[in-house]
Amino acid sequence: MVLTASDTAALQQLARDELPGLYALARRLAGRNDAEDVVQEALLRACQAFGSLRDHQAGARWLRVILANVWRDRVRKDLRAPRELPVDDVERFSLYRTLVEEDPFPYSDSLHLDFLSAFTDDDVDTVLDRLPPRYRAPLVLRYVEGFATAQIARMLELPLGTVLSQLHRGRRLFEREMWNYAAECGLLPDQGGARAGEREGGGPRWSA
Amino acid sequence: MISCGEAVRHLWEFLDRGLSDENQRAVEEHLAWCVRCCGELEFARSLRQLLRTTAEGGVPDDVRNRLSRFIDDLDHID
Ligand SMILES: [Zn+2]
**What spacing in Å lies between the alpha carbon of B33 and ligand 1's midpoint?**
8
> Taking residues A71-95, what's their average pLDDT?
77
Query: Cβ(A95)–Cβ(B12) under 8 Å?
Result: no
E strand or H helix at B59:
none
Q: What is the pTM of this model?
A: 0.86
Chain A hits for B5, Cβ within 8 Å: 92
Asked whether residue A203 is domain-assigned, the answer is no
Reported as a pLDDT band with limits 50, 70 and 90, residue A154 is: very high
Q: A114 and A184: one domain?
A: yes
Q: What is the pLDDT of residue B29?
A: 96
Q: Is B44 helix (H, G, I), strand (E, B) or coil?
A: helix
What percent of chain B stands above pLDDT 70? 97
CB atoms near residue B53 (< 10 Å): 10
Provide, as residue numbers in chain B, all residues whose Cβ is less than 8 Å from the Cβ of A113: 46
Kindly state the average pLDDT of the residues A147-173.
94
What residues make up the domain containing B57?
4-74
Residue at A169: amino acid letter: R
Separation in Å, CA of B25 to nearest CA in chain A: 20
pLDDT score recorded for residue A93: 85
Q: How far is the CA of B35 from the centre of ligand 1 (A)?
A: 7
- The CATH number given to whatever domain includes residue A142 is 1.10.10.10
Both A68 and A162 in one domain: the answer is no
Q: Does B12 contact A125 at a Cβ distance shorter than 8 Å? A: no
* Three-class SS of chain A: CCCCHHHHHHHHHHHHHHHHHHHHHHHHHHCHHHHHHHHHHHHHHHHHHHHHCCCHHHHHHHHHHHHHHHHHHHHHHHHCCCCCCCCCHHHHCCHHHHHHHHCCCCCCCCHHHHHHHCCCHHHHHHHHHCCCHHHHHHHHHHHHCCCCHHHHHHHHCCCHHHHHHHHHHHHHHHHHHHHHHHHHCCCCHHHCCCCHHHCCCCCHHHCC
Residue B4 · residue B34 · CB < 8 Å = yes
Q: What percent of chain B lies above the pLDDT cut of 90?
A: 72
Contact B54 A144 (CB under 8 A): yes
Question: What is the Å distance from ligand 1's center to A118 Cα?
Answer: 27
Q: What is the pLDDT of residue A50?
A: 87
Task: Examine the domain organization and report whether A112 and A162 are in the same domain.
Answer: yes
Res A1: pLDDT: 56
Where is pLDDT greater, at B58 or A63?
A: A63
Tally of domains within chain B = 1
Best B43, B64, B66, B78 member to test A by mutation, with max A CBs in 10 Å, is B43
Cβ B59–A19 below 8 Å, yes or no?
yes
Domain end: A48, A79, A110, which one? A79
Q: Grade residue A195 by pLDDT with cuts at 50, 70 and 90.
A: low
pLDDT score, position A18: 95
Residue B56 has pLDDT above 80, yes or no: no
A110: domain range? 87-198
Q: What is the pLDDT of residue B71?
A: 96
Cα of A134 vs centre of ligand 1, distance in Å, is 30
pLDDT reading at A40 higher than 50 = yes
Give residue A81's pLDDT band: very low, low, confident or very high (50, 70, 90): low
Q: What is the pLDDT of residue A193?
A: 47
Confidence at residue B20, expressed as pLDDT on a 0 to 100 scale = 93
Is the pLDDT at A69 greater than 90? The verdict is yes
Q: Which of A79, A114, A138 is the last residue of a domain?
A: A79
* A174 contacts on B by Cβ (under 8 Å): 47
pLDDT value of position A5: 86
Question: Where residue A87 falls among pLDDT bands split at 50, 70, 90?
Answer: low
